[in-house]
Amino acid sequence: MNFLTLLPLAVVMIAGTQLVAAVFFASSDRPRAASLGYLAGAAIVVCGGTTLAWLVTHLFRISVDDHGGRFERIVDWLVLVLLAVLAVVVFLRRHSGPPTWMGRLQHATPRYALRVGVLLFLAMPADDLTMLTVGASAARHGLPWWHLLPFMLLTLTLLALPLLALLLLGRRAAAVLPRIRDWADSHAWLVSEAVIVFFVVLTVLDLAR
């Protein structure tokens, strides 16, 4: 496994409510400031959560006298459990739709947007499970911390798509942003499930070695 293998899980991080919220901020009264605040809040949780999962697993890995790769197998089974729970969570939330409180995001201040970014990524079980999976998997394979950076950057880049559409397209973004919102609300769960299955296969192959 290398950092490229972890990148697809960035899609799971932003699929659904997280991307829909980014669209609302990009369509708000102060789209640039609100979007940047939201991205800053998300960055705090994504970078902190993934790093914490990596650090805990890494410390256990170097402190355990691992004979026969027992610790690595335990982590692999743990990752499989996390992925199974993640798949169930994504499936159950596939038709949940955006929460009613998202209507208030149209008038959000940058500070409020930052709080939403922190709370939304912190309170979403799918995001917590994904960060645990990425951090634990990277540490289990002995990848250094900086190998997590591409995953973090891709997650934030995908989350910034509505803002980028606004900056690049100007007035035409008014037609593009609703399409991004509708796609994220309707089809993102399918992509997430495909990514989870892909990662399950990789983990099973590790266990079979």
**Domain boundary assignment for the chain:** 3-208
What is the distance between the alpha carbons of residues 22 and 121, in angstroms, rounded to a whole number? 12
pTM, 2 dp: 0.84
122's tokens: 């912190």
Q: What does each of the 209 residues of the chain score in pLDDT, given as a tens digit?
A: 677 888 989 988 988 788 888 988 988 888 899 999 999 999 999 999 999 999 999 888 877 765 556 777 888 888 889 889 988 888 877 766 666 666 677 788 899 999 999 998 998 888 999 999 999 999 988 899 999 999 999 999 999 988 998 888 777 776 777 777 777 666 666 777 888 888 888 888 877 77
**What residue type is assigned to position 19 of the chain?**
L
- Tell me what pLDDT residue 4 has: 80
Three-state SS at 7:
coil
- Tell me what pLDDT residue 68 has: 54
What is the distance between the alpha carbons of residues 178 and 33, in angstroms, rounded to a whole number? 20
What is the distance between the alpha carbons of residues 200 and 209, in angstroms, rounded to a whole number? 15
